[in-house]
Structure 1
Amino acid sequence: GLIDQDCVFDEFGIPYIPSKRIKGLLKDSAIDVVKSLGVKTDILDDLFGKKGYAIAKFHISNLYIPNYDSVKAELNLIKEQKKEIAPLIHPVKIKSFFSSIRFHTAIDSITKTAKDSSLRVFRVIDKGLTFEGEIIGELSKEHIALLYLSALNIRYIGLARHNGYGKVQTHIDIDKKIDECIELLTKGEMYKEKKEDEKQDITLDGEDHIMEFDLELIDPVVMLSKREDKNTIESLDYILSTSIRGAIHKKFSKRYKDELLQKVLVSNAYPYKEKPYKPIPMFIQETKEGKIVSIFSEKDREIAIGSKPKFGFYTKSNDHVKTLNTAKVAYIHHNKYENIRTKNQYDEHDIFYYQAIKEGQSFRGYLIGDKALLEAIRDTVGTELYIGRSRSAQYGRAKVKFYDIKPITAKPPSKKRFVIYAVSPIVLYNQNGFSTLSTDVFQDYIKNVLGVPVKIENAIAITTTLERYIDVWHSRSPRLYAYDIGSSFLVSIEGDISEEAIKKLLFYGVGELTHLGYGKVDIYEDFENIRWQEKEDELKTGQNKIEHTKNMLVGLIKEDLKAYFEYKGFEDAERFQRKKDLTNSLIGRLRLLITNANSIEDINEFFKDIKGIKEDGQEDYKKHKKAYKNLEKAFKDDIKNLEEFVGIVDRLYENYEYKKLAEELGLQLKSDHKLRFDLAKRYWFNFFDTIRVKNRD
């Protein structure tokens, strides 16, 4: 509320430059480079992508301060293991360490005074900071040359550029010179027809296996949910199978035939934290009193009245249920259109919001297919995937880890009554081929999969609609109705379920479009006895050393010391008993003395002059005898003597709450004469100003 325009900071208060803004600057600059060199503009769409048709050929990360990951880890360490100094690294203090506040107003051309309500307060990142990131992608020499020249061409970034802010030097590290890059772009060989390598086939043995994988998010990930507002993009709290399939296909199809991947089943990926988590079934609910109940349980039926579903994810551990919620973040962006791009303007109504799954979280899923096919996927995908929306900048980058390929195994339920609940949306078709929401139809689907008589005794479900984007058509598919994740069905069966049937149900799914990840279900047997444990696992870290945050912590301590001594000056002035001895005239002299002094030697020299004036009986001493006496008297007891001007620093520093940390970080206050003198000046300024106010009152 106090700052009209703020900068972008992470949750710790560390500034960074969002990659979407860097990508926009690079594209603006690339347009200028292409026009000035007379290069075909086709290269722009080829490199940066075209909305609705093609994605950019590269991914650019956010730009952070050097050693950003290590700095974050150390700040987390301080929060967890050194809670007594945690207030020192409050985001507000860290923001102040990296930035400054500026004030601007508008002047009326007629009255030459400030216009009413024109004062604006905004924050700026301090000069001298370095930000670094990386560009990742399989780029041609021409693409690299264009990015290099575009980066060199960037001169300003951010707002208020016309007021002298935002001047930067931008550089991409490549082993080429400017002349070489210009020659690559202008010789016109980029779009010569290139012969594609022949794609390979894979010999399949016909037996499916399973391969689990983990996705650790390096960047936030946007998993598009339903858009309720044209300016807001909401994200799901898990990773869609279709997004994972698309990311795998992009790499796999460069070497192997496209149709091979159609024989692989890809699951959604759900949170993983020491153990895999699954969506919480809707039959598990919470009462107003906070008690967890099962609405399918006879003993919970009365107390379950008025209960509400408990959303999120769960995992079983020692007969208890642990819960987890996916952390999300929100970002604000501008929509910049091509027809005004060269004017560097934004439409004031084209602000939109991205909600994203926060980086640093892990998700687990699985692939099912022929063993040779899974091995080929593991070999071609590598260690990184780009998933979700806006994955070319700021979002979507994830580390991927594949586990061993194993045979598919599953045990049939031990009871005849159990709950089947949706782990992904379930699509059902009626006899006319239209999507429907019917327990009778679902009952038939389950019966066909399990091969035994099935009856749905009870159900609690939530419905949703599904739409898919068809690349070939450049439009959305027809809307389908489905049972949403968590929908629960209490079923009873007759006869025994075979192992093959239960594998088909649990791993291949039920309903339609299962090859796209829909129709995945799980079984909950002990639905009448729910035991709950809300305690989260403690975060474990092996780090115990402060290294990369040392300079920042020293800077924060210095800023905190300044505030501490200013406060002490105010506090001591409040308790000072001889305020009348310090007249406003004397305070003015002392304040002028401190303002003009650059070292303790200047203070000592001043007192030597006073001593000489007194001994010589000069006219000035006779004229201002009372003032000089008051000066000497004032600094004899409570405030000591100005010859010991900085002595107050050492005395107050003994009780400073972060003294131990300062010494651990190598901050030696007694030997840092410049800092000691600055702290003393701040103390006395506040002391004298408070006395002056008190005398006035």
Structure 2
Amino acid sequence: MKIKIELLSDLCTCSGETYNSMVDMDVVYDENGIPYIPAKRLKGCVRESALEMQELGIITAEEYEKIFGREGNVRSAFSLSNAYILGFDEAVEDLKNCTYKDLLSPQNVLNQYTYIRTQTAVNLKTGVAEDSSLRTIRVVKKGLKFEAECNWNEENQEVVKHPKEISEILKQAVSLVKHIGVSRTRGLGLVEMELDEEEQKQAEHVLIKKEKLAEHNKIHYQIDLKSPLICKSPKGNQAQTQDYITGSKVLGLIAGAMGKEEYQNLLAMDDEIIVSNAYITEKKERGVPARLSWQKEKDQPYETNGRMKLTEMLEASKKDMKDKQITPSKIAYIANIDKKKTVLSVETEISYHHQRPRDKSIGRATGKEDGSSFYQLASICSGQSFSGYIYANREQAEKIIDAVFGLGKVRMGYGRSSEFGVVDFVLDSVTAIKPSKQRKVKEAIVTLLSDVILYNENGMLTTDIKVLKKYLEEIAGVDNFKIEKPYLQFDTIGGFNVTWGARKPIFNVLGKGSTFLISSEKEFDINLFSNQFVGERVSEGYGEIKVDAKPKKPSVSVEVYKKKPKIQMTKNLQNEKTGIINILLESEFERRLQKEVRKKLEGRQNQYRRKEDILNAAVSKLRMIFKNELSYEAMKEQVDGIENDAKNTLCKDLIKLIVPDEIARTIQTEMKKDYNLKYPIEWEKERLYRVVYSAYLTELKYFTKILQKKGENE
């Protein structure tokens, strides 16, 4: 289904931010500068319409709750995505295929869809504008059309039992929404909305065949974010988000797809299913937490080639550290890309929201104790990819594949019923887990790739590394491991169990990225640690480890590299799908025309200063002619008829300075070269004349005002 929206007036979906002190109230737009309507705003408006239907007796309170859920513990029957302009995907593709960053600045793109309005407060007694009350507001232009994807939550039994009745109520509620956004009682936000029930094409979630499964399998899954994703911090702060997707979320997705009974049967099998955390991925390479032992010199920057040399503290001696001031590298994730240790980081963002008062006659959130509130949510930005692994035997893997195959539109995380959590979830490859040939070593480096939960012999939660040592000894079949040079960090975990409707206990764990050396007097097989998890709750992604043999020729220096920007072939900018690049080119053409006008006028200002006694009259005459004439040639004819000789001469000189066709040819040549255009940008003569002389006369007007003010001061 889709909700279609047409703007019948200008719209401001207030983002809660300001732009460069020029815009006091800004609209919501993406990283490209394309405005969109947040799903939480849309869903709130549809909910209010349905609430009015309930109050008027058109629907019952029970029907209302079936569709919109109940605050606290009942999820709504449908999920809603952000509303984007028609042709959004094609427009984004056109923008990505263009590498001219000066043309593609978000503000440049945004200006094609929006404009700035001003407003002020008037004193009711005096009728005069209040001091310091001028405000600017950016609005999306009326006439634009948006679409938002809308999907029924398949696990909702009411939708399954009564699809037509529920669908009809939602359709009526959508059609009743007539205003959205801010200042909806002051002329903004008038819309026409309708629910289109056309079925959408389902994404493919499984790319592997059951025939390729072995007795024990390592299934690779990838998650591509189509909208921001909220992975709430275990500390309960909604202004913070984790920078990875926990294995428990993926396990919950699988459990929901299977159903309660089938999932319980899966857990009852002898082999424990394990789902690793999903970490940031680039070029199909999964990033892993960087070692805490990789440290750098204080204030050390990356070199010009994007390289940085770090110090491996596990190998460093006192001599190596002499006269060096070492600090943590603060590298989040590392991946081997093109045979280089490449630094990866996760982009996050904060969005601002509000809840209106319980009394709907109050048209805005007040922040007072009336049910309204302002709040912000942190999320992982869309457009990023994450991946991880599922460890399962053949029977478990078959059941997982069947369940994932039947998934519809996938949403994950907090706030997934509106705006957040739309993802593409794919099982794309599988590897058989087989015993490896023995590789005997006496020393190894252990890195924790996820948080590790440990219980001591008394059943108490602990972060004692000696307890972890016992787990490692059990895997290796030795009893004399020695731990050296530990670099540890401690994190807090918690969570919420939806089934129980209660919080999980919050406690400290050994954090991911922690690393240390292990050694033994006797040799041990390092390959026994492959695909191993240690500690508790490993099925949720905890306890993932990596054990590497200590190099025979240890090096104190470690080279890491910045992620290289994607290099795209620049197509001809005028061969595009949506026309957005042509619009930007025309906008740039207009900007350069205005710049050239200012440049030419600045070169003649000293000459015009000597004629300031008649300059104001000459400019006033040209402005009057400009209002009535539609071409440069017609303006020249009118100037020729001016009777006053001095004014006639000055006006002729002024219009001779700025000839629209000549300026246009200059700019066309520049832009054809700068942007590799097949053909120049050409405007009709009337349009060219109006744009050039509108800018020119405006500059002349301000120039004469400056001269007048200067004369008054003297």
Change in CA separation of 1:145 and 1:555 when aligned onto 2, cut-off 3 Å: farther
Does residue 394 of structure 1 match 2:408?
A: no
- Residue matched to 1:173: 196
- Residue matched to 2:223: 215
Does residue 595 of structure 1 match 2:595?
A: no
Residue number among 241, 260, 271 corresponding to 2:280 in the alignment: 271
Aligned positions of 1:228-307 closer than 5 A: 229=237, 232-253=238-259, 256-260=262-266, 263-274=272-283, 275-288=285-298, 290=300, 291-299=309-317, 302=321, 306-307=326-327
Residue number among 485, 499, 522 corresponding to 2:546 in the alignment: 522
Contact 1:222 1:389 in 2 (8 A): yes
Residue number among 93, 111, 134 corresponding to 1:119 in the alignment: 134
When structure 1 is superposed on structure 2, of 672-681 and 6-15 the one drifting more is 672-681
Distance 1:248 1:175 in 2: 27
Contact 1:581 1:630 in 2 (8 A): no
Distance 1:591 1:438 in 2: 82
Residue number among 323, 328, 340 corresponding to 2:348 in the alignment: 328
Contact 1:105 1:115 in 2 (8 A): yes
- Residue matched to 2:447: 421
Mark the runs of 5 or more structure 1 residues left unpaired by the alignment. Answer: 177-201, 611-620, 622-627
Residue type of the alignment partner of 1:630? A
* Secondary structure class of the residue paired with 2:474: helix
Residue type of the alignment partner of 2:681? L
Query: Once the 2 structures are TM-superposed, how far is the Cα of residue 207 of structure 1 from its aligned partner?
Result: 3.9
Query: Once the 2 structures are TM-superposed, how far is the Cα of residue 18 of structure 1 from its aligned partner?
Result: 1.0
* Secondary structure class of the residue paired with 2:326: coil
Query: Once the 2 structures are TM-superposed, how far is the Cα of residue 285 of structure 1 from its aligned partner?
Result: 1.6
Q: How many residues align?
A: 640
- Residue matched to 1:98: 113
- Residue matched to 1:225: 233
Distance 1:253 1:665 in 2: 60
Contact 2:526 2:548 in 1 (8 A): no
Does residue 474 of structure 1 match 2:501?
A: yes
* Cα deviation digits, residues 379-425 of structure 1 (max 9, x gap): 33247531111111111111122133332147566532112121111
Query: Once the 2 structures are TM-superposed, how far is the Cα of residue 522 of structure 1 from its aligned partner?
Result: 1.0
Query: Once the 2 structures are TM-superposed, how far is the Cα of residue 634 of structure 1 from its aligned partner?
Result: 2.3
Residue type of the alignment partner of 2:563? E
* Secondary structure class of the residue paired with 2:315: coil
Residue number among 507, 513, 532 corresponding to 2:537 in the alignment: 513
Aligned positions of 1:334-349 closer than 5 A: 334-336=354-356, 339-340=358-359, 343-348=362-367
Contact 2:622 2:651 in 1 (8 A): no
Query: Once the 2 structures are TM-superposed, how far is the Cα of residue 297 of structure 1 from its aligned partner?
Result: 0.8
Contact 1:105 1:120 in 2 (8 A): yes
Aligned positions of 1:411-560 closer than 5 A: 411=436, 415-453=441-479, 454-497=481-524, 501-503=528-530, 506-507=531-532, 509-526=533-550, 528-529=554-555, 530-541=557-568, 544=571, 545-548=575-578, 549-557=580-588, 559-560=590-591
Seq. identity, %: 24
Residue type of the alignment partner of 1:553? L
Distance 2:298 2:486 in 1: 22
- TM-score computed with the length of structure 1 as normaliser: 0.83
* Cα deviation digits, residues 36-58 of structure 1 (max 9, x gap): 35322223333233333133333
* Cα deviation digits, residues 285-335 of structure 1 (max 9, x gap): 222163411111144752576331433111235764221111112211114
Change in CA separation of 1:144 and 1:410 when aligned onto 2, cut-off 3 Å: farther
Residue type of the alignment partner of 2:130? K
Contact 1:267 1:366 in 2 (8 A): yes
- Residue matched to 1:351: 374
- Residue matched to 1:563: 594
When structure 1 is superposed on structure 2, of 341-350 and 47-56 the one drifting more is 341-350
Change in CA separation of 1:133 and 1:146 when aligned onto 2, cut-off 3 Å: same
Distance 1:582 1:497 in 2: 98
C-alpha RMSD of the superposition:
3.2
Residue type of the alignment partner of 1:40? T
Residue type of the alignment partner of 2:611? K
Largest Rg, 1 or 2: 1
Distance 2:395 2:601 in 1: 76
When structure 1 is superposed on structure 2, of 235-244 and 528-537 the one drifting more is 528-537
When structure 1 is superposed on structure 2, of 286-295 and 560-569 the one drifting more is 560-569
Mark the runs of 5 or more structure 2 residues left unpaired by the alignment. Answer: 1-20, 200-209, 301-308
When structure 1 is superposed on structure 2, of 382-391 and 237-246 the one drifting more is 382-391
Contact 1:285 1:307 in 2 (8 A): yes
Query: Once the 2 structures are TM-superposed, how far is the Cα of residue 96 of structure 1 from its aligned partner?
Result: 2.4
Change in CA separation of 1:162 and 1:538 when aligned onto 2, cut-off 3 Å: closer
- Residue matched to 2:688: 675
- TM-score computed with the length of structure 2 as normaliser: 0.82
Query: Once the 2 structures are TM-superposed, how far is the Cα of residue 446 of structure 1 from its aligned partner?
Result: 1.6
When structure 1 is superposed on structure 2, of 573-582 and 162-171 the one drifting more is 573-582
Distance 2:650 2:55 in 1: 73
Change in CA separation of 1:493 and 1:449 when aligned onto 2, cut-off 3 Å: same
* Cα deviation digits, residues 456-502 of structure 1 (max 9, x gap): 22312111222131223322122232101111121113545458842
Distance 1:553 1:317 in 2: 35
